[in-house]
Structure 1
């Protein structure tokens, strides 16, 4: 299907992938909120590690950790959002990057000591489904059509 200007319109599979990546971004932002609520747990974990930090140092270390991980999560969500728009416009390189990022996202759930949260699992599941939708035959045809039109 094409527009009046001759541009190919994304099929339902690409639109579903786009929506899935948007929802995954919402999960990433939600995980930032969950992280903010874990300050006391971070302090307790640092204290249990046997560190010789003072209480003020423990509080500061937990706060720095929270801001660092929240910043990383926000940057990842923004990059994923940008790539989702590129996928919707038919950029195959964005589809490949989102596939790689999603594999890393799913893999990160199995690293660590069960520290993944419900938003992390939800975001990974939705992103994985979006990746599958982006590689279905109708999506492949769309990406090929967009590439050929350039």
Structure 2
């Protein structure tokens, strides 16, 4: 009978990454909440000379709903991936890497992002770094071989 020496509990670096991604997700959701308060600014962007006020109101509501829906969906996926990372799944770490890089790129591509958005992105980058530190790599490799 052989003993399994595979680490079953994640190291501190994975725990830091996990909570970092959770905080980053909350920051994204808070930023999405700001969309609800930006109705007038959104209306100014969508205003066309041939739209009635009722059509403009519907367009603004649709745009806000769509944006918030996308943020919620991405947030749920981010949370799911965070839990998979904590469980030692390398594919989740790769997907979180892609999402974090897209998040960083979006900060450079857009104007007017909030302090919360920048903070959430910075936390996601730090969480990503923690997920690639040596103890994290060992844990993920051990979990892969244990499967």
Q: TM-score, normalised by structure 1?
A: 0.90
Which of residues 112, 116, 133 is equivalent to 1:115? 112
Correspondence 1:61-76 to 2 at 5 A: 61-76=59-74
What's the counterpart of residue 57 of structure 1?
55
Question: In 1, Cα distance between the equivalents of 2:74 and 2:114?
Answer: 17
Per the TM alignment, residue 106 of structure 1 is displaced from its structure 2 partner at its CA by: 0.7
Question: In 2, Cα distance between the equivalents of 1:143 and 1:5?
Answer: 14
Correspondence 1:91-102 to 2 at 5 A: 91-102=89-100
> Cα–Cα, structure 1 residues 123 and 139, in superposed 2: closer, same or farther, change >3 Å?
same
Per the TM alignment, residue 140 of structure 1 is displaced from its structure 2 partner at its CA by: 0.4
Question: In 2, Cα distance between the equivalents of 1:111 and 1:133?
Answer: 26
In the alignment, is residue 138 of structure 1 matched against residue 135 of structure 2?
yes
Per the TM alignment, residue 58 of structure 1 is displaced from its structure 2 partner at its CA by: 1.2
Question: In 1, Cα distance between the equivalents of 2:18 and 2:128?
Answer: 9
SS state at 1:109 partner: helix
Moved over 6 A (4+): none
Question: In 2, Cα distance between the equivalents of 1:134 and 1:6?
Answer: 18
CA RMSD in angstroms comes to 1.7
1:96-146 Cα deviation digits (max 9, x unpaired): 00000000011011113x132222212111111110000001100110111
Per the TM alignment, residue 52 of structure 1 is displaced from its structure 2 partner at its CA by: 2.0
1:17-69 Cα deviation digits (max 9, x unpaired): 0000000111111012101110111112223xx54211111111111100000
What's the counterpart of residue 26 of structure 1?
26
What's the counterpart of residue 82 of structure 1?
80
